[in-house]
Amino acid sequence: MERTDRARASIYNLLAELLMPPTAENWEELTSPGTAEWLQSELAELGCNLPLPAMVGGEQLDLAAAGDAYYHSLAHPLGQSALPIESIYKPWTTDPSCELSIASEKGYLGGDASAHLADIYKALDLAIPPEYSHAPDHLGLELSLMALLVENGSREQQSLFLSQHLDWLPDLLEAADARGIHSLYRDLLVFARDFIAWDRVNLAE
């Protein structure tokens, strides 16, 4: 694997971890100055001129505050957070034969996006983590799968995955702004959106 692909995969994996609930095992490492220096180096290697998200090596939250911020920003189940789950931001299905009343509506778990991600997991012989069995299209899982494709798949497969499953970050950010999520998580989502946009262009060249 080329050095630039290792850098891309590493950045996708970092974003995946940061967009999952923070844990005692990795929170300090993920947000340390050393990680910020590493990320700056990886971006420079790629020629990707994006500012670092403040959560990495900048403004800090302790683990308890980070857990609270994550819950109220990205996990609160009663419409008070911006849930980072793809199917919520897309029509439930594009199948014209579906007669369910929600078929063309947004805002629901499941549907096409979720089913397709479940199929990808099955095809790769990977287990969906039990805590995400209801949402295999969670952003953290999608970023992890993208890292795996960078490490093992073709550029065509990577481009296809970006176009099929990582094209909804602008809608997520719109929901984040409407709900006023924590500034550090909003900043992280902006970085993820912009890195994905950069990588989409990179793959097309």
Mean pLDDT over residues 142-159, rounded? Answer: 96
The domain of 66 spans 3-84+138-204
Give the per-residue pLDDT at 147.
97
CA 146 – CA 8 distance, rounded (Å): 9
| Residue 104 counted as domain residue | no
Give the per-residue pLDDT at 149.
96
Tell me the pLDDT band of 11, cut-offs 50, 70 and 90. Answer: very high
Tell me the pLDDT band of 111, cut-offs 50, 70 and 90. Answer: confident
| Residue 106 counted as domain residue | no
Element (H, E) at 69: helix 63-70
| Residue 121 counted as domain residue | no
Tell me which of 36 and 111 has the higher pLDDT: 36
Give the per-residue pLDDT at 103.
64
Mean pLDDT over residues 159-182, rounded? Answer: 96
Give the per-residue pLDDT at 20.
97
What's the predicted TM-score (pTM) here? 0.94
| Residue 144 counted as domain residue | yes
Mean pLDDT over residues 184-189, rounded? Answer: 97
Q: Mean pLDDT, the chain, as a whole number? A: 93
Mean pLDDT over residues 58-74, rounded? Answer: 92
Domain count for the chain, please give it: 1
Percent of the chain with pLDDT over 90: 83
Instruction: Give the three-class secondary structure for 30.
Output: helix
Mean pLDDT over residues 130-135, rounded? Answer: 93
Tell me the pLDDT band of 105, cut-offs 50, 70 and 90. Answer: confident
| Residue 54 counted as domain residue | yes
CA 22 – CA 169 distance, rounded (Å): 21
Give the per-residue pLDDT at 142.
98
The two most distant CA atoms of the chain are separated, in Å, by 53
Mean pLDDT over residues 118-129, rounded? Answer: 93
Give the per-residue pLDDT at 195.
98
| Residue 159 counted as domain residue | yes
- The yes-or-no verdict on residue 137 having pLDDT over 80 is yes
Instruction: Give the number of other CB atoms < 10 A from CB of residue 2.
Output: 7
Cβ neighbours for 11, distance < 8 A, ≥ 6 positions apart = 39, 42, 43, 195
| Residue 91 counted as domain residue | no
Burial of 127 (0-12, 13-18, 19+ CB in 10 A): exposed
